[in-house]
Amino acid sequence: MGPGFRWGDRMVLLSPWRKPGSRPFRGVDQTAGINKMRPLLQEFGFPTMTSSMFLAASISMLLSAAPVWSQDAAETPTDPQVAKGLYLAQAGNCFSCHTREGGEPFAGGVAFVTDFGTIYSTNITSDKSAGIGGWSEEQFIRAMREGYDAEGNHLYPAFPYTDFALITDEDLKAIWAYVKTLKPSTQQPPANDMGFPFNQRSLMSVWNALFFNGAPFKATEGKSAEWNRGAYLVEGLGHCGACHTPRNFLGAEDESRALSGGTYLDRVSAESYRAWSAVNLTSADDGLKAWTREDLISYMKTGHSNRAGTYGPMNEVISNSLRHLTEADLAAVATFIKDLPPIERSKPSGLQAAELREGDTQYTIHCGTCHLPTGLGSTPGSELGPPLVGSAVVQADDPASLINVILYGGQVPQPPPPKGWTTMKPFGNLLDDEQAAAIATYVRSSWGNRGGVVTAADVAKQR
Ligand code: HEC
Ligand code: HEC
Ligand code: HEC
């Protein structure tokens, strides 16, 4: 484990906005947005609303460390409806968000830390009082699609009902059939820790009115059935946009830049969070242009491809969700993603060779053996290091994940991919902030890559 990175500590910060006392995010002008929004908020009857009140509840993300679902080792359900529901629940990754480290499966208690307090995921086992065993199918479908609990209270969008709204009736019924079979657990999540007025769930009606349309999935005409299946999985159940789509100033996904890269925070310890960039998945130069469909399928299935190995929060997405998908569904996801029109997010730094000399030297000393002086990576088969030329992580508008892999190395998921890269070691103790920044700037400015300058302060933020 790299210094400060603890797999046991899985938590997610839902908001891209800063926590009180933490550093602001790069590139998000919080106050500007809120001020613009103020008249609208007042109209809704919230004259004293601050950014935190809304924002916080607005984002949801899974996390990195975490329990791994061993359902594939367990018996496959015999009832076809339940088996279908199990598969869909894997596609939706219910497990990761509803199972806390050391807790019973699906019994909730995973903390989602937001600007205005902490929300805990609920127990969704079939226990009648602690879980949702007493719910009707209608209540379940309403929760998934509209974000209400059984009593009609609003749920917070830390639970991605904004994406789940796209799930068809038929699929929701299958998921419900499966959820009803979950072994009852009496485990109670801790009470949410939110002060007034943030604990007023009714505030969500305003947010929903602004950002949630709840329309069902509609197939796009002129696109193949496979493409539409991919769209359904990516935008609905798979909720890739929860991490990979940038958020607007009130924490809603910015659909005009869908899947072009987002930032979120992962909890490292009780008081500290680390930012990650979830890369641009569109076919942009700073996105997945260099990836073939096969690279993408292999990455989702095994955590490894000729282009990259998973090393951060994608571990959990792959281990608990994507690797369970059928070849046909993974192919559909890849078809949809490879067809995303390019949205370029990064600009070339424009730096000249002389300005890159320090980074060039440090790169040669520390990185070149595996990623090669050309940045092209090792020849397939030697598995020393993936290409950095055309890498979405290297070129991301927000360099957080690039800095993380330099400081903390690659964190290989458990179980490890059957075929994997040799793990990259952490450089956090070998490089000071200036050196790490020089290397990051060098790889972003070389071999045709695009990406802004990384400063020592950017690196310090990730320590
Ligand atoms: C990104 C994290 C995340 C994912 C993925 C997720 N949930 Fe949740 N879920 C939550 C959180 C957090 C809550 C609590 C929200 C609140 O209290 O307002 C919740 C609440 C719920 C509720 C309401 C329960 C109650 O007692 O009010 C249901 C039902 C539910 N989830 C089912 C599911 C199912 C089924 C899946 C998989 C298809 C799933 N969730 C996937 C985070 C998640
Ligand atoms: C919990 C947040 C989260 C979710 C949900 C998520 N991702 Fe990611 N993704 C990341 C982060 C962070 C990275 C950066 C590298 C890593 O974590 O290994 C990433 C990287 C990637 C990469 C590029 C890997 C590389 O190294 O260049 C691909 C491809 C990808 N994700 C696809 C997906 C798809 C498809 C989905 C939806 C099925 C998805 N992701 C859902 C956070 C997420
Ligand atoms: C021992 C070989 C090795 C060395 C030395 C090494 N890396 Fe890596 N690097 C890897 C491997 C292997 C991966 C794939 C992730 C994993 O499985 O650990 C990787 C992943 C990466 C990624 C993510 C690429 C992507 O698109 O997902 C970046 C960026 C990166 N390395 C940069 C660097 C930099 C900068 C240095 C020097 C400070 C460096 N590496 C040194 C082996 C190495």
Nearest CA to ligand 2 atom 40: 240
Site to probe by mutation for ligand 2, drawn from 7, 317, 330 as the one with most ligand atoms within 8 Å of Cβ, is 317
Nearest CA to ligand 3 atom 1: 424
Q: Are 261 and 342 in contact (CB under 8 A)?
A: no
Q: Low-confidence residues of the chain, pLDDT below 70?
A: 1-67, 69-75, 114-116, 267, 269-271, 380-381
Q: What pLDDT is recorded for position 27? A: 25
What separation in Å is there between the alpha carbon of 277 and the centre of ligand 2?
9
- Helix (H) or strand (E) holding 366, with range, is helix 357-366
Q: What pLDDT is recorded for position 362? A: 98
- The DSSP bridge pattern shows strands 12-13 and 262-269 to be antiparallel
Q: What pLDDT is recorded for position 70? A: 65
Separation between Cα atoms, residue 260 and residue 258, nearest integer Å: 6
Site to probe by mutation for ligand 1, drawn from 58, 146, 159 as the one with most ligand atoms within 8 Å of Cβ, is 159
At 92, give phi and psi (nearest 5°). -90, -5
Cα–Cα distance list, 346 to 184, 198, 296, 449 (Å): 48, 36, 22, 10
Separation between Cα atoms, residue 229 and residue 166, nearest integer Å: 12
What digits encode the pLDDT tens for the residues 74-107?
568 899 999 999 999 999 999 999 999 889 999 9
Separation between Cα atoms, residue 232 and residue 218, nearest integer Å: 9
What separation in Å is there between the alpha carbon of 436 and the centre of ligand 1?
39
Q: Are 387 and 376 in contact (CB under 8 A)?
A: yes
Q: Are 144 and 169 in contact (CB under 8 A)?
A: no
Nearest CA to ligand 2 atom 3: 243
134: Cβ contacts below 8 Å, ≥ 6 apart = 128, 150
Predicted structure pTM score = 0.88
The 10 Å Cβ neighbour count of residue 457 is 11
Q: What pLDDT is recorded for position 422? A: 84
Token code pair at residue 339 = 């067809």
- For residues 306, 308, 309, 314, the Cα torsion angle rounded to the nearest 10 degrees is -130
Q: Which atom of ligand 3 is nearest to the CA of 409?
A: 18
Separation between Cα atoms, residue 93 and residue 319, nearest integer Å: 10
Q: Is 367 in the pocket of ligand 3 (CB under 6 A)?
A: yes
What digits encode the pLDDT tens for the residues 220-251?
999 999 999 999 999 999 999 999 999 887 77
Q: What pLDDT is recorded for position 414? A: 74
> Which ranges constitute the DSSP H helices of 44-123?
51-55, 80-91, 94-98
Q: Is 308 in the pocket of ligand 3 (CB under 6 A)?
A: yes
Q: Which atom of ligand 3 is nearest to the CA of 412?
A: 17
Site to probe by mutation for ligand 1, drawn from 69, 87, 124, 267 as the one with most ligand atoms within 8 Å of Cβ, is 124
The CATH architecture of the domain made up of 353-462 is Orthogonal Bundle (1.10)
Domain ranges within the chain, ordered by starting residue: 12-278, 353-462
Greatest alpha-carbon pair distance for the chain in Å reads: 68
Q: Is the dihedral of CA 388, 390, 391, 394 positive or negative?
A: positive
According to DSSP, the residues that pair with 194 across neighbouring strands are: 117
Q: Is 89 in the pocket of ligand 1 (CB under 6 A)?
A: yes
Q: What pLDDT is recorded for position 437? A: 98
Q: Are 375 and 443 in contact (CB under 8 A)?
A: yes
Cis amide leading into 380 (omega within 30): no
Nearest CA to ligand 1 atom 36: 94
Cα–Cα distance list, 282 to 288, 330, 341, 392, 398 (Å): 6, 17, 6, 10, 16
Q: What pLDDT is recorded for position 124? A: 98
Break the chain down into helix, strand, coil percent, rounded to 5: 40, 10, 55
What separation in Å is there between the alpha carbon of 303 and the centre of ligand 3?
15
- For residues 345, 251, 98, 461, the Cα torsion angle rounded to the nearest 10 degrees is 60
